[in-house]
Amino acid sequence: MPQPGCVRHPDRPTGLQCNRCHRPYCPECLREAPVGYQCVNCVAEAARTVPRARTIAGAPMPTREQRPVVTYALIAVNILVYAITVAQSGNLMANYRGSSIFEMFALFPPLVAAGEYERLVGSGFLHYGSVHLLVNMFALFIVGREVEFVLGRGRYLAVYAIALLSGSAAVMWMQVEAVTAGASGAVFGLFGALAVILTRLRQNPTGILVIIGLNVFISVTIPAISLWGHMGGLVAGAVSAAALLYLPKVVASGKQTTAQRASRLGLIGLVVVTVAVLASIAVRVVVLREALWGL
């Protein structure tokens, strides 16, 4: 009696079959299962029906092969912008002199009040010299990867952006006459987020708290460093992470799954924090316009 052909390769006779659907398959189309073999179609179907493990923030649990692509992308953008400023200025350390990008995006509150709102975000990708860049990128590389894996790419990027904006908002209120730049506000936001994550996981946050304390001390003792930009980012990052990790636990009803609570209520919390930061900036712009130009 002739053997049936493989379902996926009809020209290949086979005496093998899938233990799940019992259809004939050739060895190439079968995969080892706990009992016998299953075809690639059944293996794929089983993978779709099995819920994927998730982190406490509702993000898919990272695999060994997964890379922190958002962190790498942020580092790449910062390095690229720095390289452009160096090319424009012709100086590795004084890259802020003669650079049109620096002149266009460095954070100066009166110019923001005049309508140049792009400085609120653009300043977070500028750096005063190579040392400033290397310190911030090293911190972003170390801390960013951990936060990205727990929060997931989208939430992580949102927390980073909120911290960056909040750092700019703090400078708008507290350092009106200063010209500031750097990713430090956003990086401090990741410090705050990591402290909240470790606390939520019931792990010892002492290490990150010591790092935060040391950086705050440095920010206070060195005049050239923007203390308020750092503090604004730190607070916003911690509050944003708390909204993602604690709000679902406190508010959500028992009818929803943990993943659904983290996804919906956590994102609502991020929106609230974002609106608060933007409202703070808007109020400050109005106040500055009245104080500087009587508008």
Residue tagged 């990205």 (tokens): 148
Query: Given the structure tokens 């606390």, which residue do they identify?
Result: 199
Helix (H) or strand (E) holding 39: strand 37-39
In the prediction, which pLDDT does 260 show?
Answer: 63
Report pLDDT for 219: 84
Full 3-state SS string of 71-136: HHHHHHHHHHHHHHHHHHHCCCCCCCCCCHHHHHHCECHHHHHCCCCCHHHHHHHCCCHHHHHHHH
CB 15 within 8 A of CB 3: yes
User: Taking a C-beta distance cutoff of 8 angstroms, is the pair 38, 18 a contact?
Assistant: yes
Average pLDDT over residues 31-55: 78
Please state which of the ranges 2-11, 107-116, 142-151, 275-284 shows the lowest mean pLDDT.
2-11
Catalytic residues: 184, 230
- Confidence band of 248 (pLDDT split at 50, 70, 90): confident
Q: Give the model confidence (pLDDT) of 2-38 as tens digits.
A: 788 899 998 898 889 998 898 999 999 999 887 888 9
Q: Given 3.40.630.30, 1.20.1540.10, 1.10.10.10, 3.40.50.720, which CATH number is that of 69-293?
A: 1.20.1540.10
Whether 295 shows a pLDDT value over 70: the answer reads no
What are the residues whose beta carbons fall under 8 Å from the beta carbon of 174, sequence distance 6 or more?
A: 228
| Digit-coded pLDDT (tens) for 160-197 | 999 999 999 999 999 999 999 999 999 999 999 999 99
- Residue whose token pair is 């692509």: 69
| Closest-CA residue to 269 (of 241, 293, 243) | 243
The residue assigned the tokens 């609106």 is: 275
Q: Which residues pair with 180 in a beta bridge?
A: 107
Helix axes 69-89, 153-174, angle to 10 degrees: 40
Domain with CATH 1.20.1540.10 in the chain: 69-293
List the beta bridge partners of residue 39: 30
60 band by pLDDT with thresholds 50, 70 and 90: low
Q: Residue 256: is its pLDDT beyond 60?
A: no
129-151 vs 227-245: helix crossing angle, rounded to 10: 10
pLDDT tens digits, 128-143: 999 999 999 999 999 9
Mean pLDDT of the chain: 89
CA distance 23 to 18: 6
Q: What is the pLDDT of residue 252?
A: 55
What's the CA gap between 230 and 163, in Å, rounded?
9
Q: Token digits for 153? A: 């790419």
